[in-house]
Amino acid sequence: MKKAVALILITMMCFSAFAADIPFAETQLDKAVLTERYGAAVEDNGDFNVSSIKAKAIENLFYGKIATYAAGGMLMFNVQVEGNFETGICYPVLRVLYAGSAALNANTVMFNVDGTVYSARVSSEVTNHGRYRIETMKAYLTEDGFALVNALKKASKAEITVLGNDQYTQTAEKTAFYASQKLEISAECLSAMEMPLGTPDFASYELKALCEKAFDAKYGAGTKVEKTESVKCAYTLDESFGLAADNAPAATIKAVQDLLKKNGFFVGNTGMQMTAEMIAAVKAAQGYYGFDVTGFADARLINALSGNAQMAEIKAEDHANSYAHSFNQASFNVKRWWLADRVETTVPGGGVSVSDKDNVLLIFDGEIASHALKSLSLSWEIKAEVVKDGKYAFPCAIYTETQEGSVFSTTLGMLREGRLVIVCEIPETVSDIEGEWTLNVSAGGEEFALNLSK
């Protein structure tokens, strides 16, 4: 109970403008005060949410203008406190609402504020407002999340990009004149972000752990905000993620296209347009460098393609977990691994995708060299599976590349060497859940286990 009360106190401090003085009963939050004084939205099971008066006004305006702007897409964002009266636990949440014709089914929202990118892995819920589709995305706020709230509150401009089955980008910018109420709504969201009264003491009160547990119980694991500093590069982008937009400058697209060609990720010419083939090449490059696979050629990727960054093999602290092994037929190593819905060949177009959209691929990347005076069937010579908690096993498929890196094959030619890719398809619902994850490999009559950092 002490932890729950501490969580209430610290969380409420962070939203002073509307929640700092919320009274609560001895053992739980005071439902009457929250509903009567602050207009909290309460569900039958005792869950509630509270947002600022200004944020509510903007949301009402957003819903009022959906019929006008939904065809081209529109979005808004705010923060609110969610919780449950019975448990007495509450937590701060970042919300992004999108109305439009595209079925985004979002999993990531990116904010670029003054050159700093905040990437939020989000839950997504679809509702209908009349005949219009509304997608509500949420992520809980920990240290980086509060840094984002602070940055948005002070910012005059922010670029918001939503990623999922499709993508949508909108710029929120405060100006003296707005060409449409759609732009005014997004700009007003900047002013409606509530400022914390200082940084919560996450360590002493275990706020992060309690917040994650409460949020995961309702929305699923892995939904949080992470911050990365943008890097300077030789090529100028019109917007943080403008290369995936139709209005990206042709010269910029051509410059990045040349970099992709130089590094072997792209063949051909798109006429300086951001085509599906070029986006696939961007994704292949991001996967190769160990970056998040988004299809957006951002500054970090351009810097890596320019030779100014080392390839991100897993994470620095995971290098001790990578391994190399030789058996009588071949030698191989595993250098890095990541989660994605597709893995591309070095030359884009020959990749492997999930067979079920509810799943995700756990991808292991490395190298293999044959010692045999015959072709090797990798599916016969090497067996692999991913095991969770020692009891749930997921089979793996094993590939190498042929035809100059354009095709995945299960056969390794005599005395050949090349890229090794081990692919395991797992349910996305368990991909972010903590536990003991192990890659078990059997080759040459021996078995090996590689513990994965989760």
Same domain, 290 and 203: no
CATH of the domain at 338: 2.60.40.1240
Confirm whether 384 is domain-assigned. Answer: yes
Q: Which of 173, 195, 226 is the last residue of a domain?
A: 226
Same domain, 337 and 297: no
pLDDT of 322: 53
Same domain, 89 and 207: yes
Global confidence as pTM: 0.47
Distance CA 7, CA 227 (A): 23
pLDDT of 172: 92
Write phi, then psi, for 226 (nearest 5 degrees).
-125, 145
Number of domains in the chain: 3
Distance CA 322, CA 451 (A): 9
pLDDT of 218: 62
Same domain, 248 and 331: no
Same domain, 177 and 262: no
Q: Which of 183, 198, 226 is the last residue of a domain?
A: 226
Confirm whether 235 is domain-assigned. Answer: no
pLDDT of 399: 94
Confirm whether 237 is domain-assigned. Answer: no
Structure tokens at 446: 């021996």
pLDDT of 34: 57
Confirm whether 236 is domain-assigned. Answer: no
pLDDT of 108: 84
pLDDT of 241: 35
Same domain, 330 and 434: yes
Same domain, 288 and 329: no
Q: Which of 269, 286, 305 is the last residue of a domain?
A: 305
Same domain, 57 and 139: yes
Q: Are 419 and 377 in contact (CB under 8 A)?
A: no
Same domain, 299 and 343: no
| Per-position pLDDT tens, the chain of length 454 | 333 333 333 333 333 323 333 333 333 455 665 566 555 666 767 777 777 778 888 999 999 999 888 888 899 999 877 776 666 666 678 899 999 888 888 888 888 888 788 888 788 899 988 888 999 998 877 677 778 888 898 899 999 988 887 778 888 999 888 888 889 999 999 988 864 333 334 443 344 555 566 556 666 655 666 665 443 222 333 333 334 444 456 666 777 888 888 877 877 766 667 777 777 888 788 777 766 666 767 666 777 787 654 333 333 333 334 566 677 778 888 877 878 888 888 877 788 888 888 888 888 888 888 877 778 888 888 899 998 877 788 999 999 988 877 889 998 887 788 889 999 998 887 776 567 788 888 887 777 788 775 4
Same domain, 64 and 208: yes
Confirm whether 445 is domain-assigned. Answer: yes
Confirm whether 311 is domain-assigned. Answer: no
Confirm whether 232 is domain-assigned. Answer: no
CATH of the domain at 272: 1.10.101
Confirm whether 94 is domain-assigned. Answer: yes
Same domain, 263 and 380: no
Give residue 320's region: left, alpha or beta (phi > 0; psi -120 to 50).
Answer: alpha
Same domain, 345 and 423: yes
- List the domain range (segments joined by +) for residue 29: 2-226
